[in-house]
Structure formats: C-alpha cells, structure tokens
C-alpha cells in the first residue's frame, strides 16, 4: 500500500501544475478580454511580409 | 430647373455616409469628403485595404485639426498618460470611443504598417481601448495620437486622465484567492474521503496521520491567504466597534482551523479541514459573483471626464495650446466648432451657438452675442469664437458644484443593508448559544465543553447568510443589466428597494430630446419643394435642421449655392435657382417682428421653424417637447407608494402641462440651479426621506450624488453620463416600475433564504450543543446549505423577474 504515497504525491503535483497554470493565465491578462481574441483569430495574415517592421 | 435631380444614391466607400452633391473620387471609389479619401489613401498606400473587406464602410469621418494635440508634448501630461516607459520604448493605453466593428480591431492592430515606430498595438474591444507600444527615438505621444486621429480613431483624452493618479492595474487578488481555495478544497476533499467511508480499518490506520498532516498542510494557504480578507475586515470592524457579518465568519474560519489542527496534532481525530476549505471557497465565490461590474460604463464621472485637457489661447497675438488647469482670469481663448467651453467666459468675438445638452439635457442650442456671459460646459456649434475667461475652471458656475462637501465625503446616506442589520443580532445570538452550551457541559461533562463550544461556532458560521445577499443581488443586477439598467454595484439593489421618495429632473429625463415630435403646418409641400428644403438644411449643423431633415425623410440632394447661416436665426441658399430660407419667425418676417408680433403661440410649448420659398411662406415646422412614452403610466404606478417631486432648471411654462402628470402640483419646482437641486435632496433627507433622484445632465450631478440612489438617464449608454449609482438607457424608461419592483422582490428573496439558512443552523446546532458534531455531518451540512441557498436565491430572483415582465 505504500505506493499510495507516490500516487498521492503525483496527483498533488499535477494539481499544483494546474493551479500554477491558472495563476499564470490570470496574471498575464489572458482572461481580461474574452471578446477581442475571438475576432482577432479570424484575420488573415498578410500575403506579402511587412517590409518596414523588421530591421534586417 | 431639374438639373441635379438625376444625382444617384452614392455612399462613401470609407464611412458609409451619403456622399453629397459632388463626391470625391479616388481609385474608382467615391468618398463623401477629403478626410475620408485621405484615410483611404493612407490605408491603400500601406497595403491595408483589407480593412474594407471585413466590414462595409467601417471608417469614420475625420475632422483634421492642426496643432490640436500640442499639449501632449508636455512632460507632465505625458507622465500621467503613459503606462510604461524605458529608454527604448513607451507603452500607452488610449480610450477610443469610436471602436465599433471588427474592421476597427483589424486596422488598429496593424498600425505598425502605417508607422514603423510602432512595435505593437492591441485592442480591447469591450473596453474600447488600444494599447500601443512605440519606439521613443522615432515617435512621440503626440505623433501617436495624431496618427490615430488622422485615420479617424481619435483617442478621448480628457481632464480626468490627467488629474487622476496613475496605477490602473486591475486587482486580481480575489481570483488568486479563489484559485488557491479551489485547489486546496478539491484535494482536501479527496484526501478526506477514505475517513468518511470508513476505509481506515482496511488501511489499519497507517494513512490516518499522513492524511491528517497533508490536510493540515493544504489548509494553511486557505487559512492564511484565501481567507485573509475576512480577518482584516472583522478586525477593522471591531476596532470601529462595529459588528458586521465578517466577525462571525472570521470566528468560524478561525475556530475551524485551530480545532482541526489541534485534533490532527493530538491524534484526536481528522478535523474539519474540508468544511474549512469549502466554506472559504464558497464565500469567495459569493464575493466574486457580487463584484460584477460593467466594464464599458463609468459610474464615477464628473465634469473632468468631459472637459478637454487643453484649449487654444491667444497669448501675445499668437495662438497656443494651454492646459485648462492653467487658464487664468482674463485669458483669451479660441473655441472652434464642436469644442467645449472650459470656463465661464465672456464672448468677445464671433457668433456663439451653445449646445448645453450635456449640462441641462436641453438639445436646442442657445445663441449668444458678443458681451454675453457663457457658462462653462457648453459646446460651440458653428463658427469659431473668441472668449475672455472670467472665472477659473474649478470655480465656474457649473464646476463649483463639485466643491460641495457632498463630493468629498463617502456616501454615508446609504441605508443599512439587511445583512448588516441581521449579522449584529446573529453574532450576539451565536455567542450566547456557544457560551451557553459550554457552561452547561462544564457542569455536566467538562471534557465535552470545549468540543461543544467550538462545534457551535463552526456549524453556526453564517455561511448561507453570507451567500444569500451576494447571489440574490448579483442575479438581480445581471437581469437588470440585460435591460440596460446598469447598477454601479449590487448593493444598489437594496438601496433602491428602500426608497420612498422620487425626484425627477425634467429636460432630458422625462422629456425625450431625440424624438421631439415634429409636424409641418401650412400649405402642402410638393415633393420638389421637400427636396429643396432637405438640400438646404443638410448643410447646417443645427439640431433643428437635423430634425427637419429626418422628418422629410430620404430626399435627393441637389447642389446648393449662396449658402449662408445666420447664427441662432436661420439659413438660406439657392437650390436649382430657387431661393430658400428656413429659420425663426424673426428671420423670415423681420418687419413684423419689429412690430411686436412673435408668431409663437404661448400656449403651445413648441418651437416653430418657418420656410420661405422664392419669397412665399408656405408654412412652418412645429417642434414640440414631448414627454417620454408611457410617462403617465410610470408616474401613476409610482404615485401610490412614493412621494413624487419634479425639479427643473427651466422656467414655469410647463407647470400646467405637468400638473396633469404629477398628482400633487405643489411638488413641482422650477428654476432650480444645480446647487439648489442638491440642497433640495438634502432637505428631503433631513426630513427622514429616502430619496431616489433621476437626472441626466451635469447640472443634476449634485442631486444624483446626494440622493440615496441616483439614476442617470441617458440616450446612449456609451456617451457621457454624470456620476451616479445607476445608468439607465432612456429607451427603458417605461420599465422603471418593473425594475424597482424586482429590487424589492430581491430583498424578499434574501429574507426567505435567511430563514432557510437558519433552519440548517438549527439542525446543525442540535448536533453541536450535544457535542456530537462529527466531521462528516459538518462536511455534508455546510456545502448542502450553501448550495441550497445559492440555488434558491438565483432561481427565486429569476422567477420574480419573469413575473415582473423581465426575462
């Protein structure tokens, strides 16, 4: 039954990862605006690469 | 005669406006003006014409004003506006009210194509904000704003942005607290299950203390981090000798944790850790639910959100941009079309035509002649005028209202909420039961005394009581929000339920400015004549011209020559060889006017606009102030329950007409200044009344603030509205009785759910006082009572809303 210690450790670790991800998502502002990204994703990229932005 | 009539319908490729007379043609597209065509040129030369593919005619009209943004070169102004700056880059967020479609997002996020200095730009559509990051060496804040303005997206920068402190970081602490509580609650529950199901005999107790310590470890973040606010709030309350709901909550959380920790460490049991984590989790969810805000609305606006940052002043014969806070008495200022007058000033030159609609709600502009005093807050329509400042911005007739003490104190006129009232008695009752059972057990079986004492504090922790208000009020607030009745916070529901007196402003609040009824009286107009009139009035910015244009409907536009506008009097021009004049009685009949005829019928509250075609006057347009649809019904339904008052800044001319609406004509007050309105509300409150104020303009700002509840009525919620507790869309005026009824019913729901939570407490207490409260019973009772109360309040509030006609 001592495998339980390992299993509980694993489950806690996974749950901690989820909590960490949640905090990261909130902190980086991804949940602040739940509308604009849904529009943004539908925009097509430029066919020709923008030439003035990149410094090359 | 009919030269222009073949002109076909042409809409501007950029902004969708009807292109008048001679469209500007570029690239085989028609534009209504040079501005629009210029934006198209900018976009097309940068390969950004996808803009037009996403939506049809997404653009904005662009009034180009050189030098308007010079004040943005000022270091102090920049500091206030900028989010972040280092040696290379600057990050700044602008509010752009015009953002309205996906094309806007597309264009604004491709700004880097227009200006190489822009590193990145991001739009928040719901907040109508754009965050731009640009390189310092090749651009500046002013250039950024000018770029945005040149493509039709002028940021709204007002005095408020400059005067308030920076530090707009959103508070996300509550979300973190909920996240941590949820994580701990879930894991503690998982770990506690074996104990509840009696699996311990199977594992021979080997895991018991391991699970106990694990639970203890998981509970520490809940206790120290997630529940922190309850301890600080309870402590603060106690220091002020005030017992709110936080005291029994903090006591419950504290006792739960300490007793559970003691049980685990002394191997006496498994503790109540999952009850502890669950309690904190549910409480935080309630808090979060209650905190809903309407992002796009601002409830705290004062005149500063409306006044410009800078104004053009004449100094030593030169025009320069001066921050309005630096305006001194005696300064000469220049106000162009559609600009706002920031301080009380005397008109020196030009023909002023001042639109005070933001201040009074009155939409017809007021003409002023040189030498007259013009109050701050009005907007000039028409030509450029020059004024001399006679009062500082903060001391003006209008703005001095904000120096009143009402604006400096926290609103303590608020009625105590049900929760506040109940929790005091509740706390004392709880402590009485806890000490009572402790004393009884000390006499009977001293070993159980502490057990029973703590169990009472644990089970009677008013979790359900603390949840009922947030969920009932939050649900009501969401339902009302769907009907464009936006509350500042959910507490306002209780405030609305408690009022007994209503005070209405007149202009703009119970009258409808946009749809003032307009009729034509006189000889029937031929279709041709209608076309001529439309072709003339479409050249004027005067609101009456716009109303006539709307009234005549879709008409062909014919080229106009010899157009001239006489401020505050009328317009004239020649259409297809016909001389057309449209204007006031004095304008059309100057001879009769000087003999003392006014042409206005004093019994009819209406403005008349006369028409003259080739020297003949076929008739006039009559524009009546009309009251909002359903006003009579709304007032009648309030009449039984509430004291109704009317406060108007206008003269008494409408008294007799309004008397038929208000049952008590002694309660109609006219010629009220902004300050008198405020004092009137205070006087009512001193008589013990709980007052709801309905107003719309800046002149009601004081009364809205002083009232127990202030509702500002607005034709367009995206536009300016003065600081208030509620922002209501004017189209929802008829539903006002339903809104108020819902607020009252929500309070009843809270009362009922309080009874439900008390029933749970009685069951739990019966275990607790006997000293037989097992962790399992607590673990079942606590979430069960919480979920029942949450479910009940949300369902009951929704049912009440539905019965009241709000789905």
Give the pLDDT of residue B465: 79
d(C-alpha B71, C-alpha B321), whole Å = 6
Please report residues of A whose CB lies closer than 8 A to that of B122: 36
Q: What are the two backbone dihedrals, phi and then psi, of residue B611, each rounded to the nearest 5 degrees?
A: -120, 135
Indicate the length of chain B as a whole number.
807
Residue-level pLDDT at B598: 52
Q: Is B201 on the interface with A (CB under 8 A)?
A: no
Considering only CB atoms, B116 lies closest to which of A46, A48, A53, namely A53
Nearest to B106 among A19, A43, A48 (CB): A43
Cα B804 to Cα B741: distance, rounded to the nearest angstrom: 7
Alpha-carbon gap, residue B371 to B369, rounded angstroms? 6
**Where do the H-state alpha helices sit in B197-329?**
200-203, 208-221, 228-239, 246-265, 273-290
For B307, the 3-state DSSP assignment is coil
Select the residue of A8, A12, A33 nearest B124 (Cβ to Cβ).
A33
State residue B618's pLDDT score: 87
Residue among B537, B508, B557 nearest B621 (CA):
B537
Residue B497 backbone phi and psi in degrees, to 5: -65, -25
* Torsion of Cα atoms, B614 then B615 then B618 then B620, to 10°: 110
Q: Given an 8 Å threshold on Cβ–Cβ distance, is A53 in contact with B190?
A: no
Rounded to the nearest angstrom, the minimum Cα separation between A43 and chain B is 7
Whole-angstrom Cα distance, residue B223 to residue B210?
A: 20
β-strand pairing of B668-669 with B373-374: unpaired
Residue A13 touches partner B, C-beta closer than 8 Å: no
User: Can you tell me the distance from the alpha carbon of B446 to that of B435, in angstroms, rounded to the nearest whole number?
Assistant: 13
CA distance to partner chain A, nearest, from residue B621 (Å): 46
Q: What six digits make up the tokens of B542?
A: 């005067």
Q: Looking at residue B265, what DSSP letter applies?
A: H
List the structure tokens of B747: 């309070």
Q: Do A39 and B116 touch (CB under 8 A)?
A: no
Residue A48: its chain B contacts at CB < 8 A? 47
Burial class (CB in 10 A: 0-12, 13-18, 19+), B434: buried
Closest CA of chain B from A6, distance in Å: 13
The residue written with tokens 């310590």 in the block is: B213
Query: Which residue of chain A has the CA closest to B190?
Result: A8
Per-residue model confidence (pLDDT) at position A52: 44
Cα B583 vs. chain centroid, distance in angstroms? Answer: 38
Of B656, B659, B647, the residue nearest B603 (C-alpha): B656
Nearest to B203 among A1, A16, A33 (CB): A1
List Cβ neighbours of B162 (8 Å cut-off, separation of 6 or more): B77, B80, B81, B309, B323, B325
Nearest-angstrom CA–CA distance, B162 and B174: 29
* Helix or strand run (H / E) with residue B84: strand B82-85
What pLDDT shows up at residue B433? 87
Task: Give the percent of chain A with pLDDT over 70.
Answer: 75
Token readout for B193 is 């299950």
Residues of B in contact with A34 (CB under 8 A): 126
| A33 → chain B, closest CA residue | B124
- Cβ atoms of residues B664 and B644 within 8 Å: yes
Instruction: Find residue B323's DSSP bridge partners.
Output: B310
Q: Which among B173, B247, B259, B267 has a CA at the least distance from the CA of B219?
A: B259
B575/B531 Cα distance (integer angstroms) = 9
Q: Token pair for residue A42?
A: 């539908």
> How far is B671 from B651, CA to CA, in rounded Å?
5
Going by pLDDT thresholds of 50, 70 and 90, the confidence category of residue A55 is: very low
CB atoms within 10 A of CB B308: 17
> Chain B partners of A23 at a C-beta cutoff of 8 Å?
176, 179
d(Cα B436, Cα B450) in Å, to the nearest integer? 12
- Cross-strand pairs, B347: B387
- Using DSSP bridges, classify how beta strands B501-505 and B643-647 pair: parallel, antiparallel or unpaired: parallel
0.95 surpassed by pTM: no
User: Which pairs from B433-440 meet CB under 8 Å and 24+ separation?
Assistant: B433/B460, B433/B765, B433/B769, B434/B460, B437/B768, B437/B769, B440/B769
> Cα–Cα distance between B157 and B363 in angstroms, integer?
24
DSSP annotation of B447 reads G
In terms of CA atoms, which chain A residue is nearest residue B111?
Answer: A53
Using an 8 Å CB-CB cutoff, list chain B residues near A40. Answer: 105, 109
Of the candidates B50, B112, B179, which has its C-beta nearest A53's C-beta? B112
Inter-chain residue contact B180 with A40, CB threshold 8 Å: no
CB contact under 8 A, B210 and A53: no
Question: Hey, which residues 16-55 in chain A have their CB within 8 Å of chain B?
Answer: 16, 18-19, 22-23, 26-27, 31-36, 39-40, 42-44, 46, 48, 50, 52-53
How close, in Å, is residue A12 to chain B by CA atoms?
8
Nearest Cα neighbor of B595 from B580, B585, B608, B610 is: B585
B241 in A contact zone (CB under 8 Å):
no
Does the beta carbon of A14 lie under 8 angstroms from any beta carbon of chain B? no
Contact across the interface for B183 and A27, Cβ inside 8 Å: no
Using CA atoms, how far apart are residues A23 and B172, in angstroms rounded to an integer?
10
The first and second tokens of residue B266, run together, are 């002394």
Tell me B691's DSSP state: E
CB contact under 8 A, A8 and B180: no
- Smallest Cβ–Cβ distance between B116 and the set A22, A33, A52 belongs to A52
> Which of B124, B175, B210 is the closest to A26 by Cβ?
B175
CA dihedral B113, B116, B117, B122 (to 10 degrees): 20
CB-based burial, B457-480: b 16+ in 10 Å, e otherwise: bbbbbbbbbbbbbbbbbbbbbbbb
Tokens linked to B489 = 């916070």
ipTM, interface predicted TM-score of the complex: 0.81
Q: Which of A6, A33, A41, A46 to mutate to test the interface with B (most CBs of B within 10 A)?
A: A33
**Which residue in B has a C-alpha nearest to residue A27's C-alpha?**
B172
DSSP-assigned letters across all residues of B399-423: GGGGGSGGGTS--TTPPPPHHHHHH
Residues composing chain A? 56
* B101 close to A (CB below 8 A): no
CB distance B612 to B570 below 8 Å: no
Q: Are strands B29-31 and B24-26 parallel, antiparallel or unpaired?
A: antiparallel
Q: Which residues of A touch B176 (CB under 8 A)?
A: 23, 26
Q: Please check whether residue A7 touches B, CB under 8 A.
A: no
Strands B726-729 vs B709-714: parallel, antiparallel or unpaired: parallel
* Residue in B with minimal Cα distance to A51: B113
Q: Which residues of B touch A18 (CB under 8 A)?
A: 183
Out of B126, B187, B207, closest to residue A33 by CB: B126
In angstroms and rounded to an integer, the radius of gyration of the C-alpha atoms of chain A is: 21
* Furthest CA-CA distance within chain B: 112
Orientation of helix B228-239 relative to helix B246-265, angle to 10°: 130
- Which one of B122, B172, B187 has the shortest CB-CB distance to A15? B187
pLDDT digits 0-9 by tens, B34-52: 767 777 877 777 777 777 7
* Closest of B304, B303, B324 to residue B312, by C-alpha: B324
Q: Which of B699, B306, B740, B642 is nearest to B506 (CA)?
A: B699
Residue spans of chain B under pLDDT 70: 1-9, 18-22, 35, 56-57, 59-67, 162-170, 199-206, 295-296, 300-301, 361, 363, 408-415, 513-516, 541, 567-568, 592-606, 625, 717-720
Is residue B297 a contact partner of residue B696, using CB atoms and an 8 Å limit? no
């Amino acid at each position: 039954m001592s495998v339980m210690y390992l299993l509980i450790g694993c489950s806690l670790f996974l749950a901690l990862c989820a909590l960490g991800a949640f905090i990261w998502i909130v902190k980086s502002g991804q949940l602040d605006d739940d509308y604009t990204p849904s529009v943004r994703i539908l925009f097509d990229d430029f066919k020709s690469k923008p030439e003035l932005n990149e410094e090359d | 005669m009919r030269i222009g009539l073949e002109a076909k319908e042409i809409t501007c490729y950029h902004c969708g406006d009807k292109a008048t007379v001679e469209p500007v043609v570029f690239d085989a597209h028609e534009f209504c003006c040079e501005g629009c065509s210029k934006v198209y040129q900018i976009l097309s030369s940068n390969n950004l014409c996808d803009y037009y593919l996403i939506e049809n005619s997404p653009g904005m009209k662009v009034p180009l004003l050189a030098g308007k943004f010079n004040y943005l070169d000022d270091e102090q102004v920049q500091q206030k506006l900028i989010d972040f700056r280092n040696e290379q880059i600057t990050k700044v967020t602008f509010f752009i009210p015009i953002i309205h479609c996906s094309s806007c997002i597309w264009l604004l996020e491709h700004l880097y194509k227009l200006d190489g200095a822009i590193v990145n730009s991001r739009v928040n559509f719901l907040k109508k904000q754009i965050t731009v990051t640009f390189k310092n060496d090749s651009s500046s804040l002013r250039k950024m704003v000018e770029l945005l303005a040149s493509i039709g997206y002028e940021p709204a920068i007002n005095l408020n942005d400059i005067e308030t402190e920076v530090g707009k970081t959103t508070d996300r602490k509550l979300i973190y607290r909920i996240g941590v509580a949820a994580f701990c609650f879930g894991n503690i529950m998982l770990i506690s299950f074996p104990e509840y199901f009696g699996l311990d005999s199977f594992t021979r107790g080997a895991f018991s203390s391991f699970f106990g310590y694990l639970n203890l470890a998981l509970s520490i973040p809940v206790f120290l981090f997630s529940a922190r606010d309850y301890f600080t709030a309870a402590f603060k309350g106690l220091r002020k000798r005030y017992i709110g709901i936080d005291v029994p909550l903090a006591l419950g959380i504290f006792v739960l944790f300490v007793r559970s920790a003691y049980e685990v460490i002394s191997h006496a049991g498994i503790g109540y850790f999952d009850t502890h984590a669950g309690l904190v989790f549910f409480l935080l969810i309630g808090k979060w639910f209650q905190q809903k805000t309407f992002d796009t609305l601002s409830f705290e606006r004062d005149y500063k959100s409306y006044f410009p940052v800078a104004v053009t002043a004449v100094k030593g014969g030169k025009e320069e941009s001066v921050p309005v806070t630096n305006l001194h008495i005696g300064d000469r200022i220049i106000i162009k079309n559609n600009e706002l007058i920031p301080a009380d000033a005397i008109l020196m030159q030009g023909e002023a035509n001042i639109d005070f609609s933001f201040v009074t709600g009155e939409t017809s502009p007021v003409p002023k002649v040189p030498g007259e005093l013009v109050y701050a807050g009005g907007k000039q329509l028409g030509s450029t005028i020059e004024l001399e400042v006679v009062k500082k911005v903060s001391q003006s007739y209008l703005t001095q209202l904000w120096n009143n003490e009402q604006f400096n104190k926290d609103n303590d006129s608020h009625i105590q909420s049900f929760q506040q009232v109940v929790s005091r008695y509740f706390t004392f009752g709880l402590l009485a039961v806890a000490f009572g059972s402790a004393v009884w057990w000390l006499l009977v079986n001293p070993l159980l005394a502490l057990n029973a004492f703590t169990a009472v504090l644990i089970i009677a922790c008013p979790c359900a009581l603390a949840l009922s208000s947030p969920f009932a009020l939050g649900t009501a607030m969401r339902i009302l929000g769907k009907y464009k009745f936006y509350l500042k916070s959910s507490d306002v529901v209780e405030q609305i339920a408690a009022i007994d007196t209503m005070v209405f402003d007149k202009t703009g609040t119970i009258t409808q400015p946009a749809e003032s009824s307009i009729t034509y009286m006189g000889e029937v107009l031929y279709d041709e004549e209608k076309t001529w009139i439309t072709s003339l009035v479409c050249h004027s910015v005067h609101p009456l011209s716009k109303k006539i244009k709307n009234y005549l409907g879709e008409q062909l536009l014919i080229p106009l020559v010899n157009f001239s506008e006489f401020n505050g009097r009328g317009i004239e021009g020649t259409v297809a060889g016909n001389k057309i004049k449209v204007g006031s009685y004095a304008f059309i009949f100057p001879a009769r006017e000087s003999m003392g005829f006014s042409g206005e019928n004093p019994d009819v509250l209406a403005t008349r606009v006369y028409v003259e075609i080739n020297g003949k006057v076929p008739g006039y347009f009559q524009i009546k102030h009309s009251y909002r649809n359903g006003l009579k019904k709304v007032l009648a339904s309030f009449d039984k329950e509430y004291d109704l008052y009317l406060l108007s800044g206008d003269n008494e001319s409408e008294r007799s007409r309004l008397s038929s609406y208000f049952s008590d004509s002694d309660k109609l007050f006219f010629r009220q200044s902004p300050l008198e309105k405020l004092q009137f509300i205070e006087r009512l409150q001193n008589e013990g009344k709980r007052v709801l104020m309905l107003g719309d303009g800046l002149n009601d700002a004081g009364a809205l603030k002083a009232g127990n509840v202030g509702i500002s009525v607005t034709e367009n919620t995206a536009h300016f509205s003065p600081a208030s507790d509620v922002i209501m869309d004017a189209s929802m005026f008829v539903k006002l009785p339903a809104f108020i009824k819902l607020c009252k019913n929500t309070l009843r729901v809270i009362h009922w759910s309080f009874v439900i939570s008390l029933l749970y407490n009685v069951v739990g207490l019966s275990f607790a006082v006997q000293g037989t409260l097992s962790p399992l019973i607590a673990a079942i009772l606590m979430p069960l009572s919480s979920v029942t109360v949450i479910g009940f309040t949300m369902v009951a509030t929704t049912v009440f809303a539905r019965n009241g006609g709000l789905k």
